[in-house]
Structure 1
Amino acid sequence: MKRTFFTVLFGIIISVSAFAKTSFEIVALGVNGGVIDGNITSYLIRSTDENSYLALDAGTLLPGIEKAAAKGAFKNIAVPADSPLTLEGYVFKNAVKGYFISHGHLDHVSGLVISSTDDSKKNIYALQSVVDVLTNNYFNWKTWPNFSTSGEGFKLGQYTYKVLDPGKETAIEGTSLFGAALPLSHSNYESSMILVRKNKDYFAFFGDTGPDTVEKSTHLDTVWKTLGPKVKSKNLKGIIIEVSYQNGIADKDLFGHLTPEWLLKELQNLEKYSGGKGSLKGLNVIISHVKPTLNKNTDIRSSILGQLKNGNTLGVNFIMLDQGDSMEF
């Protein structure tokens, strides 16, 4: 009897421990969708068993790293005693191993461009359309020196473009992570999401996207079909996705973005592919890219989060991180 009791108890402890184990850490370097420079879209992701990060977009880098360091996000990083670098400098130059760039709009690449003069050699992972924008419009010796290994003029060779074939998984060099990108429609401009994998666990990061109905696209539907089985198996640890505006914005004024109402409608589609009603309960969804308002007495972030929670019949766990926050999933 005793042996049976302790065997069951041991099994419960092991099950709880396995359930509680986290796979990824997310660090928010920039959370806004423009207007206020120094806090625009960028996140870091790492496997919790290593100290190597992939940057998810790069609207803001060093200001966000400084904020995150002040909040204790990099306690896992030990700067070598003989290094001349600050913690922030060491994270930027050594711990960030590469960049995934979802699309070429300025609020997703400005941190990368500005800080490139002091960066180390790294890969930039992106769809071909995004590489074309970086090559032709940024690192071209007109907007900025060519820090890449291809393109116009003298090539400084700091960044190597790794073109992602849609749906094909690629190893993220310097980490144990893998990533697969799929296209999104952002006001008829190609954006993308990346599904990051570590072993059997996944985390999805979305660049800017409008709803399929408005965009006259099936890109989000394809993404939901891809994520559905991961939700069903409980291997999708979380999602970062944009909600730029609060409800009430006319579809014609979305310009390739989401509102709470539209995100909730899209997540109903994900629910359909994840096993049906109730299958999204507890799914972690980080809301990003909120566009700040310059109107007084208006807390746009609280308003959007409130609208999401009020319409949340799916049981989703909506999260809104502030700049510098970190969280494990």
Structure 2
Amino acid sequence: MLKKILALCWFGYSTLALAGFEVVALGVEGGVNSANLTAYLIRADNQTQYLALDAGSLLPGISKGLAQGSFPQVTDAVTGDDQPERYIFRQLIGSYFISHPHLDHVAGLLLVAPQDRKKTIYAAADTVQTLHNHYFNWKVWPNFTDAGNGARLGIYRLQTMRPRQRVTLGFTGLTGVLYPLSHAGTLSSMLLISNENQAFAYFGDTGADALEQSNHLERIWQDLAPLVQQKRLKGMIIETSVSNQVADNALYGHLNPTWLLKELKKLEQLSGGAGSLQDLPVIISHIKPSMKQGAASDVTIRQQLEQGNDLAVKFVFMQQGERQQF
């Protein structure tokens, strides 16, 4: 009997230790195609609601996810009168995090607002102000928030996150800490998501510190390093918008493979040196399509990242609608 009890306790501990995150990619590109703009869903393995990480394309990605079986919990029995797509964005997305207010990160949110239900949008102060002043203003779009000018429809509550302060993210069961990023004059942000003793990092658009003349990424690496050492960082989503063929003066606040690898090298050094990042999942986001004959940006970027990957990280290229566990 004692052996059975110990075995059950060990099984419970192992299950907790292995608990992680589910990620669904609703949009993976960085422009041009309005049906595939940056948006991801994340939830803890022990929770039912997702946190949306940006919202460039929602419905197109949800539709692709349904077609690929990425929402097995959505059945006719639970959706009722709603179409599955509507049920997912209304009932399963519990809250939104918007990294910065560029259109390719918020377009999907604006479009679903008329049929969404009340929930909170989390963002840095500059993003909240831009959403109020330039989107939800009755000129570009009705004011679906509970503050700002004109009639307030009250669907969304815009919650300002202060840098480096932990916030409970609605009813998702997740907490998050916001870190500033520099994006060619626009204030962007990274969200460090936590559930119990596990963490996941989501980066909005960002340039390299050396080009942006900032230390934002350096400060992030300093805080992520202990999580890497303790094997608590389950993965990250970070952009590599263009290939190495794009000159530094034309990056406009984005990363290419060379600069991402340089930045990850800093994290490796802070995390214990060579080999410390081995098998760390790094999901590559925001790839900009080339729109040229015979030139596939994602293929080129993948090749350039793998060629320079002496870090042994696990680069992941999720497709729209795909679901993965981390």
Q: Same fold (TM over 0.5)?
A: yes
In the alignment, which of 83, 92, 116 is matched to residue 80 of structure 2? 83
Which string of whole-angstrom CA distances, capped at 9 and with x for unpartnered residues, describes residues 139-186 of structure 1? 000100000011110100000011111011111111211111100000
Correspondence for 1:132: 129
Correspondence for 1:277: 274
Correspondence for 1:213: 210
Q: How far has the Cα of 1:20 moved from its partner? A: 8.3
Matches within 5 A, 1:87-126: 87-126=84-123
Which string of whole-angstrom CA distances, capped at 9 and with x for unpartnered residues, describes residues 176-201 of structure 1? 11111100000021000101100000
Please give the alpha-carbon distance, in whole angstroms, between the structure 2 residues aligned to 1:83 and 1:141.
Answer: 33
| Paired amino acid for 2:63 | E
Which string of whole-angstrom CA distances, capped at 9 and with x for unpartnered residues, describes residues 111-148 of structure 1? 00111111111100000010011001000001000000
Please give the alpha-carbon distance, in whole angstroms, between the structure 2 residues aligned to 1:232 and 1:79.
Answer: 44
| 4+ residue runs over 4 A deviation | 13-20, 78-82
Scaled by the length of structure 2, the TM-score of the pair is 0.94
In the alignment, which of 312, 317, 322 is matched to residue 319 of structure 2? 322
Q: How far has the Cα of 1:22 moved from its partner? A: 4.1
Please give the alpha-carbon distance, in whole angstroms, between the structure 2 residues aligned to 1:265 and 1:312.
Answer: 10
In the alignment, which of 122, 143, 157 is matched to residue 154 of structure 2? 157
After superposition, the Cα gap between the structure-2 partners of 1:97 and 1:242, relative to the gap in structure 1 and judged at 3 Å, is same
Q: Which moved more, 1:250-259 or 1:74-83?
A: 74-83
Correspondence for 1:65: 62
**Are 2:242 and 1:241 aligned?**
no
Q: In 1, are the aligned partners of 2:242 and 2:288 still within 8 Å (CA)?
A: yes
**Are 2:138 and 1:141 aligned?**
yes
Correspondence for 1:3: none
Please give the alpha-carbon distance, in whole angstroms, between the structure 2 residues aligned to 1:168 and 1:265.
Answer: 28
| Paired amino acid for 1:128 | A
In the alignment, which of 270, 293, 306 is matched to residue 290 of structure 2? 293
Please give the alpha-carbon distance, in whole angstroms, between the structure 2 residues aligned to 1:280 and 1:243.
Answer: 18
Q: How far has the Cα of 1:215 moved from its partner? A: 0.3
Matches within 5 A, 1:306-321: 306-321=303-318
Q: In 1, are the aligned partners of 2:50 and 2:172 still within 8 Å (CA)?
A: yes
Scaled by the length of structure 1, the TM-score of the pair is 0.94
Matched residues, number: 321
Structure 1 counterpart SS, 2:72: coil
Structure 1 counterpart SS, 2:106: helix
After superposition, the Cα gap between the structure-2 partners of 1:253 and 1:178, relative to the gap in structure 1 and judged at 3 Å, is same
Which string of whole-angstrom CA distances, capped at 9 and with x for unpartnered residues, describes residues 279-315 of structure 1? 1011000000000011011121011011101100001
Structure 1 counterpart SS, 2:219: helix
| Paired amino acid for 2:174 | L
Structure 1 counterpart SS, 2:41: strand
After superposition, the Cα gap between the structure-2 partners of 1:81 and 1:97, relative to the gap in structure 1 and judged at 3 Å, is closer
After superposition, the Cα gap between the structure-2 partners of 1:82 and 1:317, relative to the gap in structure 1 and judged at 3 Å, is closer
Say what the alpha-carbon RMSD is for the aligned residues.
1.9
Structure 1 counterpart SS, 2:309: coil
Please give the alpha-carbon distance, in whole angstroms, between the structure 1 residues aligned to 2:208 and 2:79.
Answer: 51
After superposition, the Cα gap between the structure-2 partners of 1:111 and 1:81, relative to the gap in structure 1 and judged at 3 Å, is closer
Please give the alpha-carbon distance, in whole angstroms, between the structure 1 residues aligned to 2:300 and 2:13.
Answer: 35
Please give the alpha-carbon distance, in whole angstroms, between the structure 2 residues aligned to 1:145 and 1:306.
Answer: 44
Q: In 2, are the aligned partners of 1:79 and 1:90 still within 8 Å (CA)?
A: no
Q: How far has the Cα of 1:36 moved from its partner? A: 0.8
Q: How far has the Cα of 1:79 moved from its partner? A: 5.3
| Paired amino acid for 1:96 | I
Please give the alpha-carbon distance, in whole angstroms, between the structure 2 residues aligned to 1:187 and 1:73.
Answer: 35
Please give the alpha-carbon distance, in whole angstroms, between the structure 2 residues aligned to 1:203 and 1:102.
Answer: 15
After superposition, the Cα gap between the structure-2 partners of 1:80 and 1:198, relative to the gap in structure 1 and judged at 3 Å, is same
Q: In 1, are the aligned partners of 2:95 and 2:172 still within 8 Å (CA)?
A: no
5+ residue gaps, structure 1, are 1-5
Correspondence for 2:183: 186
Q: How far has the Cα of 1:278 moved from its partner? A: 1.1
5+ residue gaps, structure 2, are none
